[in-house]
Chains A and B, each alone.
Chain A
Amino acid sequence: MAKYLLLKHYRGAPAPVNDVSMDQWTPAEVEAHVRYMEDFAARLEETGEYVDSQALSPQGTFVRYDGQGRPPVTDGPFAETKDLIAGWMVIDVDTYDRALELAGELSAAPGAGGRPIHEWLEVRPFLDPHPTTTE
């Protein structure tokens, strides 16, 4: 088994095919979207492939050290161009193909008009923390 991170972007990924921002959807469409995500996670829990998922606030701030005794520097609230992560799901699956299959399924979550949003998800393998025995 190997773990993969499915990364959802607010910004930084290519635009989804069905690109209507969520505040323009009907409440029923939002409801259907949320339920799809919950069902998806519940199904992975049943198959034993679920590890973790979290949603993130869009309020991201870049911070860096600015020298001894000085407060850290931030890029302020108006950095409209930086990548933002909306949330993630971690899965533990048998093969890379299975990871792609699941990401494709997650990307088919219903959006405006009840049609799939075809959202672009980033799939990243975790590095295994264990050294292999082979020498």
Chain B
Amino acid sequence: MDEALLRALIPTVIGVLVRRGADFATAEDAVQDALVEAVRRWPDSPPRDPRGWLTTVAWRKFLDTVRADTARRQREERADNEPAPGPGRAADDTLWLYFLCAHPSLTPASAVALTLRAVGGLTTRQIARAYLVPEATMAQRISRAKHTVSGVRLDQPGDVATVLRVLYLVFNEGYSGDVDLAGEAIRLTRQLAAATDHEEVAGLLALMLLHHARRPARTGPDGGLVPLAEQDRTLWDTRLIAEGVDILQTALARDRLGEYQAQAAIAALHADARTVEEADWVQIVEWYDELVHLTDSPVARLNRAVAVGQADGPRAGLAALADLDPSLPRYTAAAAYLHERDGDLPTAARLYTEAARSASTLPERDHLTRQAARLNTRLRG
């Protein structure tokens, strides 16, 4: 049985049910019930039209629920009288569901959970494991999120930027347990890109592919973080890079620049170089200028300072850093790196130690501790 196909059908089928008059929460439950039946019956008798089969069964499940609930009789009548939709709305329905799951009334965490469940078709258990929380907690989060958006009728198109932010959040959660969230985010963004024509969707997809291409090189055999400068670039996935660059170029050609396209452009320039030194740092700085202009993000300013350090030397990088707020995350780590390149090893060692103490992720802390240990060993020797 093709689980990938099954999961890809979920948003469409939920969309059809809602369009026929089902409320979102009940529709989502009905589709989950239909999936259970599909898992049981498809191996013996696979349907000729999986989408039609799933829609029919989910609709029946929905009607069962509604009929069992007398308080919902009115909605049943309305739903029964609604004509079945014609073909060709699948893309619209999917898009509708993306906007609903990323609705601004939801917190980012709820939006992420709801998207993974309703659009991605992951089970509550899988999502809970990916986020290292109990299944009951995740079930509550999803059920509250469904409740929050239950009355929302999206008559106008939703905000693409919100949807993209949710997908990028999923992507950045990376990998844990039995679900590869980065892979899942790419799958969903591909689906979104197929359903809509928007240059920033393409930009985000390109960015994800270019980052994902480097994943095999980002961690060492011991699970430790390998920084860009030390990555074995032969491990980068050239097929993903080519695809990402292709998508990016098409998006850039439309001349409507956005933050994801700018970030993807930076990732593409890294992907294009055989070594750190060979990268076109002057162009990378230019793209960071665009990114700062577009987002005014402190993180972009910090990364820009590091890029300036590569393009114009560590002194220039430190000067750029001096304009920024030292309480920014990773400020101290960046300062340590630039001081080391400038040859001031004692300062660099001290700053690496300080940065390790305030790191917020385990791989980052371990990496910074190793950098401090490396320099301190050299200074003693």
Q: Is the interface of B mostly helix, strand, loop or mixed?
A: helix
Per-residue contact bits, chain A 39-56, to B (CB 8 Å; 1 contact, 0 not) = 000000111111110000
A129 / chain B contacts, CB cutoff of 8 Å: 132, 176, 361-363
Q: Indicate if the CB atoms of B174 and A134 lie closer than 8 Å.
A: no
Q: CB within 8 Å of B: which of A79-135?
A: 92, 94, 125, 127-135
Q: Indicate if the CB atoms of B138 and A48 lie closer than 8 Å.
A: yes
* Residue among A3, A45, A92, A94 making CB contact with B136, cutoff 8 Å: A45
Confirm or deny: B228 has a beta carbon within 8 angstroms of a beta carbon on chain A: yes
Bound CA span A93–B194, Å: 34
Per-residue contact bits, chain A 18-37, to B (CB 8 Å; 1 contact, 0 not) = 00000000000000000000
Confirm or deny: B171 has a beta carbon within 8 angstroms of a beta carbon on chain A: yes
Q: CB within 8 Å of A: which of B121-161?
A: 131-134, 136-138, 140-141, 144
Most buried by B among A3, A48, A52, A92: A48
Bound CA span A94–B303, Å: 25
Confirm or deny: B295 has a beta carbon within 8 angstroms of a beta carbon on chain A: no
Q: Indicate if the CB atoms of B171 and A133 lie closer than 8 Å.
A: yes
Q: CB within 8 Å of B: which of A49-69?
A: 49-52
Q: Indicate if the CB atoms of B171 and A132 lie closer than 8 Å.
A: no
Bound CA span A135–B171, Å: 14
* Residue among A47, A50, A94, A130 making CB contact with B176, cutoff 8 Å: A130
Q: Kindly list the 9 A-B residue pairs having the minimum CB-CB distance in the complex, ordered from nearest.
A: A48-B141, A131-B363, A128-B361, A48-B140, A1-B109, A130-B174, A127-B362, A135-B228, A133-B172
Q: Interface residues of B, CB < 8 Å — how many?
A: 38
Q: Indicate if the CB atoms of A51 and B134 lie closer than 8 Å.
A: yes
Q: Indicate if the CB atoms of B133 and A94 lie closer than 8 Å.
A: no
B362 / chain A contacts, CB cutoff of 8 Å: 127-129
A3 / chain B contacts, CB cutoff of 8 Å: 132
Known: A130-B176, A131-B219. A47 touches B144 (CB 8 A): yes
Q: Taking the nearest CB of chain B, how far is it from the CB of A1, in angstroms?
A: 4
Name 23 A/B residue pairs within 8 A (Cβ), A-sorted: A45-B137, A45-B140, A47-B140, A48-B140, A48-B144, A50-B136, A51-B133, A52-B134, A92-B137, A94-B109, A127-B359, A127-B360, A128-B360, A128-B362, A130-B172, A131-B219, A131-B361, A131-B363, A132-B361, A133-B172, A133-B174, A134-B299, A135-B211
